[in-house]
Amino acid sequence: MKAADPRTGEVAFAFEPASPEDVAVEAARLRAVQPAWEAAGADVRAATLAALAARIERDSEAVFQALAVDTGRRAVARIEIDGLVRNLRKWSARGPELFAALPRDPMPSATPDIAIVPSFSAYPLFGAIAPWNFPIVLSHIDAVPALMAGCAALIKPSEVTPRFVAPMRAILAEFPELPLAYVQGGAKTGEALVAAVDYVCFTGSTATGRKVAEAAARALIPANLELGGKDPMIVTASADPAWAARIALRASAVATGQACQSIERIYVARAIAEPFLAALVAAAEATMPSGPDAGSGHLGPFIFPAQADKVAAQIDEAVAHGARVLAGGRIETIGGGRYLRPTVLADVTPQMAVMREETFGPVLPVMIFDDVAEAIAQANDSDYGLSGAVLAGSLEEAEAIGRQLEVGAVSLQDGALTSMVGDATNHSRKGSGLGPSRMGDEGMLRFLRRQALIRQLGQPLTIEAFAERG
């Protein structure tokens, strides 16, 4: 398989995809070493993860350089690596505490003369199928707590961003006791992974997530799905329009909008619509692409070139049906990479694709509302329910509106906070996901299977207790 450099468009990297047989062999190897990893105990596992964090922090240059090429981003690549280090340290600190708090003492049952002893064990082999938009963070966001729980972990990163795997493997070679491995490839490799593991986490599109869920159901294994979003932002009449515009721009455009938590729909009160739009356009026009010089600008290229075509099609469709482009609006080719400056659209309608389908690009469609109840209804009129945001004159006003949004998490007086806050337990709604939260303590506890040891404290029943009495 081959992967392009998103900054140049050149196909300059190739790798051999793992066959289904390769995946099976790697899965068997991990299964063989997992019992020792789990038996080592929470403190040992925590120490290993902490040591890995220190190792990555000390010498991450090779990983960084590979990731920067994979994604065409340098600042976000640094943030990703820092995020992996924080994830490792968070679970190495929190994991032992959670294990210590697990109930282990016998508990009386509602059934007379019965006591129940809870017992916990890890799913032997965890599998992750990760996307291309944040390769390092999303390859490991579920794997790290799974490892802390005592699982072995098998990760399939996206074939679009494969370069970071080699330097990560070099680091992991220094930790032979850590049952973590990567398999590289496309859809066939992913299918083989689902068939080989005991628990699968998938991050990606809703369409592909449905296929993963179906495969997991056939295999009778749990599936955690973190899927697409069409995140709304409501800006009330009491909000400062310039302040709100700055937040909206950042929450929509960071990482070129290639994030599931990016704000993709903005509803603004008519009373402040004019100054809000003026400030939003000014902020958009001041945001520069980072090409061709990777050391300048704000927005990197589209990582997956085909995504640029999808975004352009949504913009064109909106304009054809009456939307106005106030800023941006045109895909640019710079040094071989494809870029889009933040694109502000006015006069959009709910029926347009840019308001209904996931965009995954720095596009800010703005609708004006007269009543907050109208804005809430429009925000909830979506096939997605990942996250959202509310900006208002007070936190109390924002929270009252946020409670009415049909999404898993709501940023109040900010936007896209789910990318920064790892302990906010939440459950995605509608087509945005399925299964337990990857955030908060649930992020690790979901990888523990419960067993009930049922103690008979009295006299067991005999067959006579079930004799027919006429």
Q: What angle do CA 62, 65, 71 make, to 5 degrees?
A: 135
Active-site hit among 260, 264, 358, 397: 260
Q: Hey, what are 71's tokens?
A: 């994604």
Contact 180, 153 (CB under 8 A): yes
Measuring CA to CA, which residue among 244, 34, 315 is closest to residue 150?
A: 34
Q: How many C-beta atoms surround the C-beta of residue 44 within 10 A?
A: 13
For residues 291 and 7, the answer to whether their CB atoms sit within 8 Å is yes
Closest C-alpha among 460, 398, 444 to residue 87 = 444
Q: Which residue, chain included where needed, has tokens 């309608």?
A: 349
| 85 touches 55 (CB < 8 A) | no
CA distances, 318 to each of 11, 344, 368 (Å) = 33, 12, 16
Residues 277, 209: Cα–Cα separation, whole Å: 36
The verdict on whether 201 is a catalytic residue reads no
Burial class (CB in 10 A: 0-12, 13-18, 19+), 108: exposed
Do the beta carbons of residue 335 and residue 10 sit within 8 Å?
A: no
Q: Using CA atoms, how far apart are residues 201 and 222, in angstroms rounded to an integer?
A: 9
Active-site position among 80, 159, 191, 226: 226
Instruction: Tell me 292's DSSP state.
Output: S
Q: CB neighbours of 1 closer than 8 A, spacing ≥ 6? A: 14, 15, 16, 17, 159, 162, 184, 185, 186
Q: How many CA atoms lie within 13 A of 113 on its CB side?
A: 6
Whether residue 260 lies in the annotated active site: yes
Do 445 and 98 form a contact (C-beta atoms < 8 A)? yes
Catalytic residue numbers, as ranges: 226, 260
